[in-house]
Amino acid sequence: MHLYGLIGFPLGHSFSSGYFSDKFKRENIADSKYENFPLPDITGFPELVRSLPHLRGLNVTIPHKTAILPYLDALDDAAVEIGAVNCIRLEGGRLIGYNTDAIGFRHSLETLLQPHHRHALVLGTGGASKAVKYTLRQLGITYRLVSRHPQGPEDLAYGQIDQAMLEQYTLLINTTPLGMYPAVDTAPALPYKYLTARHFLYDLVYNPAKTLFLHQGEAQGAVIKNGYEMLVLQAEAAWTIWNKP
C-alpha cells in the first residue's frame, strides 16, 4: 500500500483528502491511500515520517509551508525561489520539496489573462502570496503588494488604492482568507466602484465559490475566478511528482 497525506494544523475538512480519495476511486487506484496528519508543531515532523514506512509523498499546508524547509534534504529550483513548499516526495530515503501551488496558479490564471493584464495588485503578504509572486515574475507581470501594514517601500496600504491606480493595475489577486467560509461577509477593503470590464479578479479562496470580493468585481463587469481549479491542478502536479520514475 502506497501512503500519501497532508500535514498542517488545523486540517479540518481539507481539500486534498477528499480530492485524492475520490481520485483513487474514480481511477481505480487500488494500492494507494491518502490521510490527514494534523501536526501542531513542525518539530514533530521527523518522527511522523519515521512512523510511516509506506509513505511516498506529502502535501503541506498552513502553517508549515515555510517552517518545513529545514527538515528537507533538497528543494527543486522553483521551491528555492518561492521560499515555500507544499509538496514533498520521498525518494530513496530523502525528502525533496516542491511547490505545486505555483504550477496550479499559473495554469489556472493563464486561461483568462488578456494583453492588458500586465500590472497586478497582490492582496496580502502571507505565505499564500509567495507562489503568486513567483508566477507573476515568470509571466513578466509587474505587481505591488497590498496589506493592512505595508512593510516594503513599494508595498501599499488598502487606503492608497484609488481610481487612478485601478486604471493601471487591472489584475487583482486575493491571497488573504477574507471572504472564506464561514466569514463570507468579509472582503479586502477596495474601492470596487472603480472596477470595469477590463479588470480580472482572482481569489485563491474557493469556499464559497463566489466570495464577496468576486461578487463585487462581477457587479462592475470584471472577469472573476476562484481558486478551485488551482487546487485541482496543484494536486495533480503533486501526484505526478510523487509517481515520477
Residues recognised as catalytic? 65
What is the rounded CA–CA span in Å between residue 111 and residue 233? 13
- Residues 6 or more apart whose Cβ sits within 8 Å of residue 29: 23
| Amino acid, single-letter form, for residue 114 | Q
Task: State yes or no: cis peptide before 208, omega within 30 of 0.
Answer: yes
Q: Provide φ and ψ at 2, rounded to 5°.
A: -90, 130
Chain length of the chain: 245
Contact 155/146 with Cβ under 8 angstroms?
A: yes
What is the rounded CA–CA span in Å between residue 107 and residue 234? 9
